[in-house]
Amino acid sequence: MTHSLQPTEPGQHHRLEEENRKLRRINKVLMDRMERDADAQRGNAYSLFQTAITLESKVAERTTELTRLTHRLMHEISERRAAEEALKVAKAEAEQANLSKTKFLAAASHDLHQPLNAARLFLGALTDEVRSDRALELIARADAAMETVGELLSALLDISKLDAGVWPVKRSDFAIGPLLERLGQEYRPQAEALGLELRIVPSSALGYTDRHLLERILRNLISNAIRYTESGRILIGCRRQQGGFRIGVWDTGIGIAEADRARIFEEFQRLGNEPRRQEKGLGLGLAMVGRIATLLDLQLGVRSRLGHGSSFAVGVPRGSETAATATTHTAPPLLSPASLAGRNIVIIENDEQIREALCTLLESWGCTVSAAPSSLAALAEVRGLARFPDLIIADYRLDHELGTEAIHRFRAEFGSLLPALVISSDRSQELKAEAESLGFGFLPKPTPPAKMRAMVSFLLRRPAR
């Protein structure tokens, strides 16, 4: 059906009914009067009769029009209901397609991360075997390229989760100052290596939001500021506002043209004029920032002056001091790296490539390694060699068990204080929190060899739990 109906004027149906009832009353009164006065007023009776006939005709016309409008209204209501049902079906199909896309990307990301992780581990082992400066430079470039691919895969998966609305949000009260100080310590060496000053303004502010997602926002903003600042400084701090405060990242970089500000939060958008071409980003950082801010209902602000710098700010609700104090945790002390030579390491990994790469890497550090695809096979090998393990490294998702379960089997036999490390392509904060709550270390795949060595050294030196 291709015809369309004009919407019925609001109240028209009701007015027609009222007019119809009024005309019927008038008609009845006139007919009664005509009958009473028929004998006494012969001349007027005919006139009254004519009026009654005219009114009856108008009543019939109004009744017909009212019936037509009623049918028209019912037809419009039926069409609107059908349109609403079609919209619901389309929305459900779109949501299902989005979830399917997210699941596909998660599976693809996992499968692509596996060989990528193995390649980076093999490169790490190769670094210890070569002595040529040129060869080391090529290895470093290959590793950097693989790291970029890993970051791209992770960013695409994260954006897909945000678009599908399946990213879990856990709001809590926490102190902002320690978070900013930690980010400052992490990014200051990178900034100083490029001749930039990175300064953190101390803050006593307390926030209420998802701290991990807020940290993702700030990391992207700081990385962007470093990438687009050729000289000068980057300042990070808080300003109070009604109901909370704004965390700002100011830089003295190249700035953003007014015409570009509308598209900087879209995927794969780069300004194309980074002062350091080797620092070129993926064009997904600000897209992630925009989506997380929307998810957390946080207001984003952007101010910039071309050639003079930019400032990005995110508004955060004020938190409760009592709740923030109750959830504050003391960070473990940093320990100097332990010697790995002669350490007995057990690897439980069902992917053969990664298992072989981990063995090669750890053996290049002087470790004695036992490796198997499951906890039962690993236990049998360790018992056969009569070795007491110093550390267990287990992938989280094995064929018939979880890595945490595999570690518990080893701890049941060799003691509950046996150090352990969980590795996984699942980079979620929930999994990391689960592993750490059990006293295990956690590293996401793909893992740079330097981070792997630092974590293994830390676990072998820290007080056992």
Domain ranges of the chain: 12-94, 172-326, 344-461
CB 115 within 8 A of CB 352: no
Cα–Cα distance measured from residue 174 to residue 268, given in angstroms and rounded to the nearest whole number: 33
What pLDDT score does 334 carry? 39
Taking the domain 344-461, which CATH number applies? 3.40.50.2300
Q: For residue 105, what is the enclosing H or E element? A: helix 42-127
Say how far apart CA 461 and CA 297 lie, in whole Å: 42
Chain-centroid distance of CA 382 in Å reads: 42
Per-residue pLDDT in tens (0 to 9) along the chain, 465 residues: 444 444 455 566 677 777 777 777 776 776 676 666 655 555 555 565 666 667 677 777 777 877 888 888 888 888 888 888 888 887 777 766 666 666 666 666 666 666 776 777 777 777 777 777 777 777 777 777 777 677 666 766 777 767 666 677 888 999 999 999 988 888 888 888 889 999 999 998 899 998 888 988 998 899 889 988 988 999 999 998 888 899 999 999 888 887 777 777 775 555 555 555 444 555 677 888 888 888 889 999 889 888 888 999 999 999 887 655 544 444 444 334 457 888 999 999 998 888 888 888 898 888 999 999 999 999 999 988 877 899 999 999 898 899 999 999 999 999 888 999 999 888 777 888 889 889 899 998 877 888 888 889 888 886 544
Burial 34-53 (b: 16+ CB within 10 A, else e): beeeeeeeeeebeebeebbe
CATH superfamily of 172-326: Histidine kinase-like ATPase, C-terminal domain (3.30.565.10)
Contact 124, 452 (CB under 8 A): yes
Q: How far apart are CA 283 and CA 272, in angstroms?
A: 10
* DSSP secondary structure of 395-460: ESB-SSSBHHHHHHHHHHHH-TT--EEEEES---HHHHHHHHHTT-EEEESS--HHHHHHHHHHHH
Diameter of the chain measured on Cα atoms: 133
DSSP assignments along 136-182, one per residue: HHHHHHHHHHHHHHHHHHHHHHHHHHHHHT------EEEEHHHHHHH
- 339 CA to centre of own chain: 39
What DSSP string runs through 321-381?
Answer: HHHHHHT--PPPPP-PPPP-TT-EEEEE-S-HHHHHHHHHHHHHTT-EEEEESSHHHHHHH
What distance in Å separates the CA atoms of residue 363 and residue 318, rounded to the nearest whole number?
A: 51
Q: How far apart are CA 99 and CA 92, in angstroms?
A: 11
CA distance 315 to 239: 9
For residues 285 and 299, what is the distance between their CA atoms, to the nearest angstrom? 17
Question: CA 186, 285, 167: angle at the middle one, nearest 5?
Answer: 95
